[in-house]
């Protein structure tokens, strides 16, 4: 794995932290490879999250528990090779920060060496040792509270979190603890807007919401959801800005039809040898008469 050279003018984690309360919402989107990173950066986002949602969205798994640190480094590296201006945040996958602080720091470092400028992990006070160990290795950490998909089995499914007072208080206290530990931002996923608002008003670092309403310091969506490339499940918080799956399917169907009907490739889409070479080759294969019938007459 080769280290990526920081791009001049690249967004940094401290720059994101400094955006708290500046009045302009922070924009984060997921990307998992070089083409989607170029699209994200071209769209002017502040942060590209190489999320472990790559498991469901790209790799075809049912949940995010299937991806490893090596998988994540593979995708972080692909995003980094697009040299985006946006800050690249690499998602630490399940079990990469749960076993020991030594393993945690090594796994975070693997994502940084692949090109991430920060890492994200899920959980609150339970994960403070992991957060502190990574920060101690000089790697910025983004927190993630509310619906934490790596806890899908413990939570009993993918559902909105923090709906009652006690659960809401736990989220606020966890957010305070993450911010005090030094996280530069905290993702709030699938929590009621009142809870997100309280967290946003309470902690001194930006909150970035997904299914958390408008009272956050920023928003994040999964790239494939907003582009309409992933259409199997549409959570209510997703806004589709394009219908690329439909467009792409229609394009492939047109291509298939063109091939089957002989409209592709055309002469312009074909490499031609010099006439003398073609004639000799045609004589050799016996196609001379056939070509004379099918090639358009010279102008």
Active-site residue, from 103, 122, 138, 189: 189
Rounded Cα–Cα distance for residues 112 and 89 (Å): 9
Touching ligand KIV, residues 33-92 (CB under 6 A): 49, 51-53, 91
What residues pair up with 48 in beta bridges, in sequence order? 29, 88
Rounded to a whole number of angstroms, the CA Rg of the chain reads: 25
Which member of 30, 69, 161, 207 binds ligand KIV (CB under 6 A)? 30
CA torsion sign, 217 to 30 to 225 to 155?
negative
Whether 190 contacts 141, CB under 8 Å: no
Name the one residue in this structure whose structure tokens are 């693997």: 110
**Using CB atoms, what's the residue nearest to ligand KIV?**
51
- Binding string to ligand KIV for residues 233 to 272, with x set by CB under 6 A, is what? ----------------------------------------
Which member of 72, 121, 171, 187 binds ligand KIV (CB under 6 A)? 187
**By the rule CB under 6 A, 210 interacts with ligand KIV:** yes
| Catalytic residue check, 138 | no
**By the rule CB under 6 A, 225 interacts with ligand KIV:** no
**Those residues with Cβ within 8 angstroms of residue 248's Cβ, 6 or more apart along the chain or in another chain:** 229
**By the rule CB under 6 A, 161 interacts with ligand KIV:** no
Whether 80 contacts 5, CB under 8 Å: no
Residues engaged in binding ligand KIV (CB under 6 A): 30, 49, 51-53, 91, 187, 189, 210, 220, 222
């Amino acid at each position: 794995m080769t280290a990526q050279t920081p791009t001049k003018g690249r967004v940094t984690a401290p720059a994101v932290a400094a955006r708290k309360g500046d009045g302009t919402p922070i924009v984060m989107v997921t990307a998992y490879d070089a083409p989607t990173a170029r699209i994200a950066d071209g769209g002017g986002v502040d942060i590209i999250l190489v999320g472990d949602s790559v498991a469901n969205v790209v790799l075809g798994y049912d949940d995010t528990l299937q991806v490893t640190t090596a998988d994540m480094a593979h995708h972080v590296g692909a995003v980094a090779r697009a040299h985006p201006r946006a800050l690249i945040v690499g998602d630490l996958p399940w079990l990469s920060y749960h076993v020991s602080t030594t393993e945690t720091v090594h796994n975070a470092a693997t994502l940084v060496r692949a090109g991430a400028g920060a890492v994200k992990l899920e959980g609150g006070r339970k994960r403070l040792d992991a957060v502190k160990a990574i920060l101690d290795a000089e790697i910025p950490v983004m927190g993630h509270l509310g619906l934490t998909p790596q806890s899908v089995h413990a939570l009993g499914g993918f559902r909105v979190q923090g709906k009652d007072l006690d659960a809401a208080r736990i989220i606020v206290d966890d957010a305070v603890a993450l911010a005090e530990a030094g996280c530069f931002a905290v993702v709030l996923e699938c929590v009621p807007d009142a809870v997100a608002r309280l967290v946003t008003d309470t902690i001194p670092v930006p909150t970035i919401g997904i299914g958390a309403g408008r009272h956050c310091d920023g928003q994040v969506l999964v790239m494939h959801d907003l582009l309409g490339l992933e259409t199997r499940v549409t959570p209510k918080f997703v806004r589709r800005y394009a219908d690329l799956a439909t467009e792409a399917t229609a394009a492939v169907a047109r291509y298939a039809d063109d091939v089957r009907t002989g409209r592709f490739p055309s002469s312009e889409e074909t490499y031609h040898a010099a006439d003398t070479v073609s004639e000799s080759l045609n004589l050799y294969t016996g196609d001379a008469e056939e070509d004379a019938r099918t090639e358009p007459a010279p102008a």
